[in-house]
Amino acid sequence: MPLNSRKPNTLIGAGYIGDAVHGEPMSLSDFLSNFVATVAGGALLTFIFFFLKEKVFPFPDVAGMWFFQVTTLETAYNPYKNMKLQYVAVIWREGSRVRGTVEKMHETSSTGERDYVGKHRARGVLNGYVQKNYFAKDQLFLHVVEDGERRESTNFYGLRVLSHDVMDGTYASTVADQKGVVRWQRNAF
């Protein structure tokens, strides 16, 4: 194919570096400067996105010890209505995944108040993830399997991260189909 018969906007090989629009040859120095500018621009954009993700919009620091209180608003077992349970949790975060343990510490219900100490504390295993939100509060979703006094139960928590020290949200439990609100904080109640 003769060089003048090429269609505009096409490049053909064997040592020809050309301007795709005008069909004119591009010099090697022009090609290299364009190549370096493109790579440098890509590297700069990568650094900017990394900086924004790590420093301006980081994952919330939810690792560590937390104390939380659940308040039952709905339940299939009326004596549990308005019951308050207090727990301590230890959370470990790896990326967006979280895991840890919980222990029930205190109960206030229609039958009275009760502290759980030592071997009488119900323990649970916690798993979940952090949902990073750029235009709203970050969220933490947790699934806890608790080894209770009478049976194993499952609890689900949907939390909004309000600050480094406070989260709030809702919970649902398989114990008497409980639903309610929850508050997490770094300091004991």
pLDDT digits (tens, 9 = 90+) for 45-83: 998 887 877 787 788 999 999 999 999 999 999 999 999
Pair 29, 74 in one domain: no
- Side chain identity at 27, as an amino acid letter? S
What range defines the domain where residue 27 resides? 3-56
Collect the ranges in the chain with pLDDT lower than 50: 12-14
Which pLDDT score, from 0 to 100, does residue 26 have? 81
Which pLDDT score, from 0 to 100, does residue 47 have? 87
Pair 178, 162 in one domain: yes
d(CA 44, CA 34): 15
Pair 51, 81 in one domain: no
Pair 101, 49 in one domain: no
Q: Which of 83, 118, 88 is nearest to 103 (CA)?
A: 88
Among 14, 35, 56, identify where a domain stops: 56
Question: pTM of the entire structure?
Answer: 0.75
Query: Phi/psi class of residue 118: alpha, beta or left (left: φ > 0; alpha: ψ in -120 to 50)?
Result: left
Q: How many CA atoms are closer than 13 Å to the CA of 160, on its beta-carbon side?
A: 8
CA of residue 111 relative to chain centroid, distance: 38
Residues 3, 15 contacting (CB under 8 angstroms): no
Pair 18, 72 in one domain: no
